[in-house]
Structure 1
Amino acid sequence: HVEETGGANFIFITKDGKLVTPKSDSILPSITRRSLMYVAEHYLGMTVENRPVHKDELKDFAEIGLCGTAAVISPVGQIDTPEGTINVPAGMDDMGPITKKLYDTLLGIQHSEIEAPEGWVVKIC
């Protein structure tokens, strides 16, 4: 099963527009991943699935990204496996369209351009 990389969590977009995040007891409970799951469901109206992701599924996703604090989302254009290379055309040069919407919405919340969910932003000065 696919879990995470050394410095980021995976997110996957299915061909029918669902956000899938790998589920495992060993995955770091990333705030960025959880925030993207919330944004996908509550801001973009997407179906969100948190479930085990088998490596054989990788070739079937429309978009793949790595998420974390520093990059928010970095697109994935290629995955090399012992069985061969998986190309993800949506991530080769830029983010795919759904990943870009997730990125822009989360950044908009962080920059106070989009209203944040209650409790997400605390004014300190």
Structure 2
Amino acid sequence: MLDTLASYVKTKREKSEMSVRKLAEKAEISHTEIKRIEDGTRKQPSPKILKTIAAALNVPYNDIMIAAGYLNEAESGDLPTMMTASQSKSSALDIAELTERELEDVKRYITFIKSQR
């Protein structure tokens, strides 16, 4: 099981040798928001915020969603693995080779994302 969101973000940020301010800049959110997340005072930021942090840290979106408590590991196994930001730039929505099952997974994931608005 993944750590809490606070330790997950802090560990990934430190591993990337980024300051709080640098991560905030890359994620295009305030450094105080990052600090609150890492301190544990901001328990469940929106999926939209988590997506920007995941992209800035170049980590899978599913992992940060699990750490935040939006998904459990069993549920994430049913969803397609999300690519990191650098991977998605090179293969944006290449669905031609997906199986029927994979396309259904993508549809379910899109429905989930929309429900988080």
| TM-score grouping bracket, smaller chain normalisation | 0.3 to 0.5
Q: TM-score, normalised by structure 1?
A: 0.31
Higher relative strand content: 1
Q: TM-score, normalised by structure 2?
A: 0.32
